[in-house]
């Protein structure tokens, strides 16, 4: 795979546009901090979804 092609992600979250990273262009140019923040947002998204079912509570202090 050349570095000019966008990296394909194997997941797609359609419910939140900020998490829609399936077709990012120039995603190879993303800094490590942006990639880390995307992973954190995705993790938080699934934690919130689980919390809606009443299985787990999220400590809001972990957002910072």
Does the pLDDT value for residue 39 go beyond 80?
yes
Average pLDDT over residues 14-36: 58
DSSP strands (E only) in 1-64: none
41 class by beta-carbon count within 10 Å (0-12 exposed, 13-18 middle, 19+ buried): middle
Rg of the chain over all Cα atoms, to the nearest angstrom: 14
pLDDT of residue 57: 56
How do the domains of the chain map onto residue ranges? 30-63
Does the pLDDT value for residue 38 go beyond 80?
yes
**Which of these ranges, 3-7, 41-45, 58-62, has the smallest mean pLDDT?**
3-7
């Amino acid at each position: 795979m050349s570095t000019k092609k966008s990296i394909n992600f194997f997941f797609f979250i359609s419910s939140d546009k900020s998490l829609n990273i399936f077709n990012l262009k120039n995603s190879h140019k993303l800094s490590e901090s942006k990639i880390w923040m995307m992973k954190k947002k995705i993790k938080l998204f699934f934690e919130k979804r689980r919390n809606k079912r009443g299985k787990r509570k999220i400590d809001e202090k972990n957002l910072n």
